[in-house]
Chain A
Amino acid sequence: MADDALPAAPHTVDEWVKSYEEGGPLRGFRCPDCGLITATWSLACPSCGHIGLEEHALAATGRVVAFTLLTVPGDEFLNDAPYAYVVVALDGGGRITGWMPSVRTEEGVRIGERVRFHPSYKPGVQFVREGDGPEENR
C-alpha cells in the first residue's frame, strides 16, 4: 500500500502546529457520529470510536478549567518561568492546553477565567486573559 493510501486525519500534527504558529485558526476535529470536538490528532473518535473525523475550526476563546503556576519550567521555557499552564474549554467545544506567560503569580488566573488564544513568536499555544494584552503582567 502506498503511503498516500494509508488512513489519514484531515490535518497532520505539523499542520496543527504551523496553523497556530501562523496566527490561527486552532485546528481541530469533529466526530461526524457523536459530535465530539477535539484538538488532539487522531484517526478515530476517542469517545465513540467512530473512524474518520472531520476538520473543525476551534474557537479562539474559552475558559480555564484547570491550571498551575510553574516555577520550574520545561526546557523550552527556561527564560519564561514563572508562567501559568492551563487547560482551556473552548467556546463551542473542545479543550486544549496552553501557557500564559503574562501570568506571573498564582493569583493571576483562576478556574473559570475567560481567556483567548494569543499568537506569539514563542513556542506552544499561548493564551492571555480576555481583554488583556500580553504585556500586562499579573
Chain B
Amino acid sequence: MRETWVVGAASNRFGKMKESGREAATRVSLAAIESAGLRPKDIGYTFVSNCFGIAEHQAHVGPLINGGLGIPEVPSCTIESACSSSSAGLHEAFVQVAGGFIDAALVVGSEKLSHLDTLAATSYFAIAADYAFETRNGATFPGLYATLASAYRDAYPTRPEMFGAIAIKNHANAARNPHAHFQKEISMETYLHSPIIASPLRLYDCCPFSDGAAAIVVAAREFVKTPRAEPLVVRASARAGSITEMQDRPDLLGLPATRTAAARAFQQAKLTPNQIDFAEVHDCFTIAEALALEDLGFVPKGQGASAALEGITARDGSLPVNPSGGLKAKGHPVSATGVSQVVEVFEQFNGLAKGREVPRTTTALTHNVGATGGSCSVHIFSRR
C-alpha cells in the first residue's frame, strides 16, 4: 500500500445556502484542490456524496461537478451511506490511491435541504432508517436516538446537565468556527428550558438541518512531492456495518458499528485511544457523542455522558472532542459532514483553526456514523 495523504481541504459556511448544491460542491472542490497546490487535471477520480439530491431534483451530480472543474473526462460516482456518506467516499478514495490505481482523488459532499419545511426535512432524515420496521411504526430520526438515550438513562445514573454540557461545549467551539451553522454560545439555562423534541432529547440536544459543502483532496505521498500545506497522513481508514434496526440489537448501550470500525482503525494505525490528541466524533445528538466516547474506547462504559461536564472533552481538556462544534453546532449537512470533520483536522494541523486551537495536533481521529449506526467510518490521521 502506498502512503496516502490528505493534501487539501475546504468548506463553506454551513447553514443556509442560496446557491444550489452542485454550485457549492464545485466551489469547495476547486478551493480544496487549490489549497493542495494542485490543478483539477491532477484529479484521477471524484467521489461525490449528495444523499438528498432528490430534494433538488438532481442525481448523478459527479459529472456536473467535474464539468464545472473543467475535467469532464474524469470518472466520478456518488457514494451514499446516509450521514457517513462522504467518509465512505474518503475510504473509497483511500483504497484507490493507496492501492495505486490513481494518484489523487477529490472527495466532496454537499447537501441542500433548507428550502424544505421541517416536516419534509424530518421525513428526509428518517429515510435512512428501516421504513417497514421502524419509520412506519412511528419512528423519527431524533426518536431513534432518543430510544438509545432512554436505555442509557435507565442503565447509568445521568443528569440532564451532563447532556447540556455536551451541547454547551460544542456551541462554544462552533462560535469560534467561521464554517459553523450556529455561531453563538448557549447557557445551561437555555439548554434546560428548550422544548422536548423526543424525550429525553431537548431541542438543544439535536443537530440542526443544515445546508453545506466540504471537499478534500487525497493523494499518494509520491505524487505530491512538495505539499503546499501540512498534509494529514492517513494512518487508518476503517469502516464497519451493523444491524440497522434497534429491535435487532441485543445491546442498546452503544453502536456496534463504531466499536468494530474503531478496533479496525486502531489496529491499522498501530495506535491506542490514549495516543489520540483530539477527535471529531459523530454528535448528531448529545447522546451520540456520549456513546461515541465509550465505543471508541476513550472513556469506560457509562462515563461518556459526564465527560463534557467534567471538562475532559473541552478544547483544553485531556481529550478535546469536536473542536469544530461538531454536528450539533457546526451543523449537519448530511453528505458534507464526514469530509468536514477532516477539514477541521486539516485546519487544526495547519494552524488555521484560529480561536479554537487544540493544544496537541500530532494525531487525530474522525468518527462518522450512518443514521443510527448501520454504517460507520473511523479515520486516524497523523503528521508526517
Q: Do A and B come from one complex?
A: yes
Of A1-9, A48-56, A61-69, the stretch lying at the interface with chain B is A61-69
Q: Which residues of A contact B197 (CB under 8 A)?
A: 70-72
B30–chain A nearest beta-carbon distance, Å: 38
B290–chain A nearest beta-carbon distance, Å: 15
Cβ of A87 and Cβ of B252 under 8 Å apart? yes
Cβ of B138 and Cβ of A87 under 8 Å apart? no
Q: Of residues B146, B150, B151, B196, which shows the largest number of chain A Cβ atoms within 10 Å of its Cβ? A: B150
The answer to whether the Cβ of B62 comes within 8 Å of any Cβ in the partner chain is: no
A108–chain B nearest beta-carbon distance, Å: 10
Cβ of A71 and Cβ of B195 under 8 Å apart? yes
User: Whole-angstrom distance between the alpha carbons of A111 and B148 in the complex?
Assistant: 12
User: Whole-angstrom distance between the alpha carbons of A74 and B139 in the complex?
Assistant: 7
Please report A residues at the B interface, Cβ cutoff 8 Å: 13, 16-17, 38-41, 46, 65-78, 83, 85-87, 95-99, 106, 111, 123-125
Q: Interface 1/0s, chain B 241-278, versus A by CB < 8 A?
A: 00101111000100000000000000000000000000
Extra contacts, 10 of them, besides A86-B147, A124-B136 (Cβ < 8 A), are: A13-B132, A40-B130, A66-B154, A71-B199, A72-B140, A72-B197, A74-B138, A75-B123, A85-B139, A87-B252
Cβ of B198 and Cβ of A74 under 8 Å apart? no
Q: Which residues of B contact A124 (CB under 8 A)?
A: 136-138
B96–chain A nearest beta-carbon distance, Å: 30
* Docked complex: B325-351 residues within 8 A CB-CB of A: none
Cβ of B140 and Cβ of A97 under 8 Å apart? no
Q: Which residues of A contact B20 (CB under 8 A)?
A: none
A40 CB contact (under 8 Å) in B142, B143, B247? B247
B307–chain A nearest beta-carbon distance, Å: 22
Q: Of residues B132, B143, B243, which shows the largest number of chain A Cβ atoms within 10 Å of its Cβ? A: B143
A90–chain B nearest beta-carbon distance, Å: 10
The answer to whether the Cβ of B303 comes within 8 Å of any Cβ in the partner chain is: no
B134–chain A nearest beta-carbon distance, Å: 6
The answer to whether the Cβ of B233 comes within 8 Å of any Cβ in the partner chain is: no
Cβ of A78 and Cβ of B199 under 8 Å apart? no
User: Whole-angstrom distance between the alpha carbons of A71 and B198 in the complex?
Assistant: 6
A12–chain B nearest beta-carbon distance, Å: 10
User: Whole-angstrom distance between the alpha carbons of A17 and B147 in the complex?
Assistant: 23
Q: Which residues of A contact B118 (CB under 8 A)?
A: 72
Given contacts A40-B245, A71-B195, contact A76 B147 (CB under 8 A): no
Given contacts A95-B247, A96-B133, contact A70 B138 (CB under 8 A): yes
Cβ of A78 and Cβ of B148 under 8 Å apart? no
Q: Which residues of B contact A85 (CB under 8 A)?
A: 137-140, 143, 146-147, 198
Interface size class of B (residues with CB under 8 A): 35 or more
The answer to whether the Cβ of B122 comes within 8 Å of any Cβ in the partner chain is: yes
B371–chain A nearest beta-carbon distance, Å: 15
Given contacts A66-B151, A87-B247, A125-B137, contact A74 B123 (CB under 8 A): yes
User: Whole-angstrom distance between the alpha carbons of A78 and B246 in the complex?
Assistant: 23
21 chain-A/chain-B pairs, Cβ below 8 angstroms: A40-B248, A41-B132, A41-B133, A46-B243, A65-B151, A66-B148, A68-B200, A71-B196, A72-B118, A72-B122, A72-B142, A73-B140, A75-B123, A77-B138, A83-B138, A87-B147, A97-B137, A97-B138, A111-B154, A123-B136, A124-B138
Q: Which residues of B contact A38 (CB under 8 A)?
A: 248
B143 CB contact (under 8 Å) in A68, A78, A106? A68
User: Whole-angstrom distance between the alpha carbons of A138 and B120 in the complex?
Assistant: 29
User: Whole-angstrom distance between the alpha carbons of A99 and B201 in the complex?
Assistant: 18
Q: Of residues B154, B247, B252, which shows the largest number of chain A Cβ atoms within 10 Å of its Cβ? A: B247
- Closest residue of chain B to A122, judged by CB? B138
Given contacts A71-B197, A72-B122, A85-B147, contact A66 B252 (CB under 8 A): yes
Q: Which residues of A contact B126 (CB under 8 A)?
A: 74
Given contacts A71-B195, A111-B154, contact A97 B134 (CB under 8 A): yes
Q: Interface 1/0s, chain B 82-126, versus A by CB < 8 A?
A: 000000000000000000000000000000000000111011001
Given contacts A77-B138, A98-B138, contact A68 B150 (CB under 8 A): yes
The answer to whether the Cβ of B183 comes within 8 Å of any Cβ in the partner chain is: no
Cβ of A69 and Cβ of B137 under 8 Å apart? no
Cβ of B198 and Cβ of A97 under 8 Å apart? no
The answer to whether the Cβ of B135 comes within 8 Å of any Cβ in the partner chain is: yes
User: Whole-angstrom distance between the alpha carbons of A85 and B134 in the complex?
Assistant: 9
